């Protein structure tokens, strides 16, 4: 497909360093005609539940900007004809143009943006972000797009009956193993109903049973609920993502400022008033899992995120459980 390549140059440092930077006697010069990365191959995106564990590979070719730079690649998809106004991030990786993901994981990502059990015409691209040195300049390039038709399968589910709000846990592989993040109220016990088979499950001490006792928690908040209707087991684990840091109301002390989960988008968000300072994301008020870094590159144990005083809506996307991105909108 012949299409104009859009090149965006974002200034982070001095404008005078846009096309070159000097550091310790080494000069980095942007080529007048850089070779932009390309998305070379796209796998068959007819996704099937029976192939959920299969691995799909997207292959690209690297960018050559004419100087040595650190590069992060982002694989994105959007509904065809929208000019990537609302893209979905599939994968990101540093210096790697062979991006792999399981069918079930990709299906879960696509379900947050595209309708289930029907064909959607997509455009895919590789976006690259180059940095010469911290605080100098960043260069962002988009590849020529590739078109592909994707079919996303809907997931078998168990509905949480009695939890007070409409919620469900889902089975990505359709193998009787269900999981999801849900918001639970300690005063509202619930059961799990299979709407297809009209079977209601309850249980006790992590043992699931048909028409068993209602399930309950001792504290309000977000939980990861898992159930296996073949092994007849279940698990309810606290899963509360929060903000901590000297910019937050409690500083570096617990409890963290808890975020809410959006099942439709797979993101965590909070509206919060912060002061000048820094913050990080943590799980369950514990440092065993914490994300820090930049808006487009959060990593485990990464650097504190900087912020100036104001009221913000912060939205966190967790990628593969260990990295992520976030947006922060003031007002």
Label residue 28 exposed, middle or buried (CB < 10 Å: 0-12, 13-18, 19+). buried
63 and 124 both lie in a single domain: yes
Model confidence over 171-229: pLDDT tens digits?
Answer: 989 999 999 999 999 999 999 999 989 999 999 999 999 999 999 999 999 999 999 99
Q: What range defines the domain where residue 306 resides?
A: 241-330
CATH number of the structural domain spanning residue 269: 2.60.40
pTM of whole model > 0.85? no
Domain boundary (151, 170, 192) is at 151
Both 48 and 124 in one domain: the answer is yes
Same-domain check for residues 16 and 145: yes
Helix (H), strand (E) at residue 60:
strand 55-61
Residues 12 and 145 in one domain: yes
The answer to whether residue 75 sits within a structural domain is yes
Q: Are residues 210 and 288 in the same domain?
A: no
- What would the pLDDT profile of 225-276 be if each residue is shown by its tens digit? 999 999 999 999 999 999 999 999 999 999 999 999 998 889 999 999 999 9
Of 125, 151, 177, the domain-final residue: 151
Does 272 share its domain with 233? no
**Statement to judge: residues 279 and 320 lie in one domain:** yes
Measured distance CA(306)–CA(145) in Å, rounded: 34
Picking from 190, 221, 238, the residue at the C-terminal end of a domain is: 238
In a domain, 213, yes or no: yes
Q: Indicate whether 1 belongs to any domain.
A: no
- 2: in domain: no
Determine the Cα–Cα distance for residues 237 and 244; give it in Å rounded to an integer. Answer: 21
Question: What are 19-44's pLDDT values in tens digits?
Answer: 444 444 445 555 667 789 999 999 99
Q: Which two tokens stand for residue 132?
A: 């010469």
d(CA 6, CA 50): 39
Q: Do 233 and 247 share a domain, yes or no?
A: no
CATH number (domain holding residue 195): 2.60.40.3620
Q: Are 278 and 306 in contact (CB under 8 A)?
A: yes
Is residue 221 within 8 Å of residue 240, measured between CB atoms?
yes
CATH code of the domain covering residue 69: 2.60.40.10
Kindly state whether residues 184 and 245 are assigned to the same domain: no
pLDDT at position 69, please?
Answer: 77
- 123 and 198 in a single domain? The answer is no
* Whether residue 307 sits in one domain with residue 177: no
Q: Indicate the number of domains in the chain.
A: 3
End-to-end alpha carbon distance in the chain: 41
More confident residue, 313 or 71: 313
């Amino acid at each position: 497909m012949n299409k104009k390549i859009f090149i965006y140059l974002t200034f982070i440092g001095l404008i005078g360093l846009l096309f070159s930077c000097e550091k310790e006697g080494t000069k980095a010069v942007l080529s007048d005609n850089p070779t932009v990365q390309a998305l070379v191959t796209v796998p068959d995106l007819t996704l099937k539940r029976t192939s959920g564990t299969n691995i799909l590979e997207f292959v690209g070719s690297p960018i050559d900007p004419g100087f040595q730079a650190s590069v992060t690649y982002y694989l994105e998809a959007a509904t065809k004809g929208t000019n990537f106004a609302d893209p979905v991030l599939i994968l990101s990786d540093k210096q790697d143009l062979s991006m792999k993901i399981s069918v079930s994981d990709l299906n879960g990502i696509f379900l947050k943006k595209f309708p289930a059990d029907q064909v959607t015409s997509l455009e895919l691209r590789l976006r690259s972000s180059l940095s010469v040195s911290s605080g100098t300049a960043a260069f962002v390039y988009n590849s020529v797009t590739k078109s592909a038709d994707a079919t996303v399968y809907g997931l078998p589910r168990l509905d949480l009956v009695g939890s007070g709000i409409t919620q469900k846990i889902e089975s990505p592989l359709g193998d009787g193993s269900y999981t999801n993040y849900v918001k639970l109220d300690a005063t509202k016990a619930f059961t799990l109903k299979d709407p297809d088979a009209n079977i209601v499950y309850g249980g006790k001490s992590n043992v699931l049973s048909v028409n068993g006792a209602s399930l309950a928690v001792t504290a309000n908040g977000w939980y990861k609920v898992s159930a296996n209707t073949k092994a007849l087991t279940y698990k309810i684990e606290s899963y509360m993502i929060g903000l901590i840091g000297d910019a937050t109301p409690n500083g570096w002390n617990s409890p963290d400022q808890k975020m809410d989960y959006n099942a439709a988008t797979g993101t965590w968000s909070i509206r919060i008033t912060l002061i000048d300072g820094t913050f990080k994301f943590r799980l369950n008020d514990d440092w065993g899992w914490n994300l820090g870094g930049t808006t487009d590159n959060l990593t485990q144990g990464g650097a504190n995120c900087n912020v100036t005083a104001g009221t913000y809506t912060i939205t966190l996307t967790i990628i593969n459980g260990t990295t992520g991105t976030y947006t922060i909108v003031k007002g």
